[in-house]
Copies of this chain bind each other. A is one copy, B any other.
Amino acid sequence: MTKRITIEDVANQAGVSKSTVSQYLNERFDYMGEKTRMKIEKVIKELDYQPNVIARSLKKKSTSTIGVIVANILHAYSTQVIRAIENVCNENGISTIICNADDDSEKEKNYLETLLSKQIDGLIVIPTSGNLEMYNKLISENFPLVFLDRIVDGLDSDTVLLDNKKASELAVDCLYENGHEKIAIVTTSLIDNVTPRVERIQGYKEALKKRHIQINQEYIKGAELSLIKQKLTELFTLSEPPTAIISGNDLTLMEILSYTFDNGIKIGKDIGLITVDEVSFAAIHTPPLTTIVQPTIDMGTKAAEILLEKINNKQTKNKPTIYRYDPSLIVRGSVERVGDRID
């Protein structure tokens, strides 16, 4: 490979010092002679010179790069939020490095270490529930860090969250208004104490109470993705099966749809269905799916904005804030009550 052009080549060619070329690159034109500037500009064009960002970063102790670690990229939520973060960063000349922890704290830890050794200027994380010490160390060092989607007990930093209780409430209310009272909620594993899942269950219970509906523990199912279908079998073989299901997220939804399809259970006829998270095919599904939409763009944008703010004002250490965002309901179908209503 041909040798890369360096600042020294430019300096020699232009007949000035490296310092002056550097001033030019950093747009410190205050005291620079018109001719000098023109000369440098010309040589840079001629040589097609591109500054070495690595060298600059080493000296400046800032890489203009942030890391983003998401717990699981398979959630549409993650990809949408990432897109929003990238947009904000691009507008501000910041690069992003995206990492997918794959729901694995060990992987998350490796990415954390890699990102830090790459000297990133800040970090946005949808955390797994591990690595408390590492995060707390970063927080105590005042390292720019923003959490997204989840709160982990014992970690106190700025966090952008959905109003998860409201999401459940919207779902319960919509189903109730369509005549459902036997409402189940199915979501991926609860073991990890992950905020959205826990809060959505909590919101579900509160919404039922408000409607004076008895909470039935058998209607609350949490399991890892591969076991969801098993849980659905449990639900449908109850002596009093639910007439409607709330799906906790998009991946859970796919399991439910696959299960009902395989078993000839008709959505909106045999069972009401509503899901948290928008999916691409909601409107063209038979029947169209009623969904609870997260403002992913707003949430990602906010997280990025907070982070950039923190990076720019490292000295000031504000009290951590939690930013809550409202979900919204898109009624499309799939929630009708057709069977007998027992009341």
Interface residues of A (CB under 8 A from B): 1-2, 50-55, 57-58, 63, 73, 79, 83, 86, 95, 97-98, 100, 113-114, 116-119, 141-143, 254, 257-258, 261, 279-281, 283-286, 314
Q: Are A118 and B54 in contact (CB under 8 A)?
A: yes
The interface residues of chain B lying within 8 Å CB-to-CB of A1 are 141-143, 314
Closest Cβ of chain B to A45, distance in Å, is 14
Decide: B50 and A54 in contact? CB cutoff 8 A. no
**How many Å from the CB of A279 to the closest CB on chain B?**
8
**B98–A98 CB distance below 8 A:** yes
Q: How far is the CA of A73 from the CA of B86 in the complex (A)?
A: 13
Q: Give the residue among A1, A55, A98 with the most B Cβ atoms within 10 A.
A: A1
Q: How far is the CB of A54 from chain B (nearest CB, A)?
A: 5
Output the least CB separation between A206 and chain B (Å).
32
Query: A257 near B286 (CB under 8 angstroms)?
Result: no
Tell me which residues across on chain B come within 8 A of A314, comparing CB atoms. Answer: 1
Contact of A117 with B281 in the complex, beta carbons under 8 Å? no
Closest 4 pairs between A and B when the two form their complex, measured CB to CB: A286-B286, A257-B284, A261-B284, A53-B117
- A258 CA to B285 CA, complexed, in Å: 10
Residues of chain B within 8 A of A55, CB atoms compared: 58
User: Of B57, B97, B258, which is within 8 A of A54 by CB?
Assistant: B57
List chain B residues, Cβ under 8 A from A52: 58, 117, 119
Known pairs A73-B83, A285-B285; list 9 more (Cβ under 8 Å). A1-B141, A53-B119, A54-B119, A58-B58, A97-B97, A258-B284, A261-B283, A261-B284, A279-B281
17 A-B pairs with CB atoms under 8 Å apart are A1-B142, A1-B143, A1-B314, A50-B113, A50-B117, A51-B117, A52-B117, A53-B118, A54-B54, A54-B63, A58-B58, A73-B83, A79-B79, A95-B114, A254-B280, A280-B281, A285-B286
Contacts of A54 in B (CB 8 A): 54, 57-58, 63, 118-119
A334 to chain B, nearest CB (A): 13
Bound CA–CA A279/B257 (angstroms): 14
A117: chain B residues within 8 A (beta carbon)? 50-53
| Min C-beta distance of A266 to chain B, whole Å | 10
Asked, given contacts A58-B58, A97-B97, A143-B1, whether A50 binds B116 with beta carbons under 8 Å apart, the answer is yes
Which residues of B sit under 8 angstroms from A261, Cβ to Cβ? 283-284
A270 to chain B, nearest CB (A): 14
CB distance from A247 to the nearest CB of B (A): 13
- The residue among A58, A258, A279, A314 with the most chain B CB atoms within 10 A of its own CB is A58
* A290–chain B nearest beta-carbon distance, Å: 16
Residue of B nearest to A55 (CB): B58
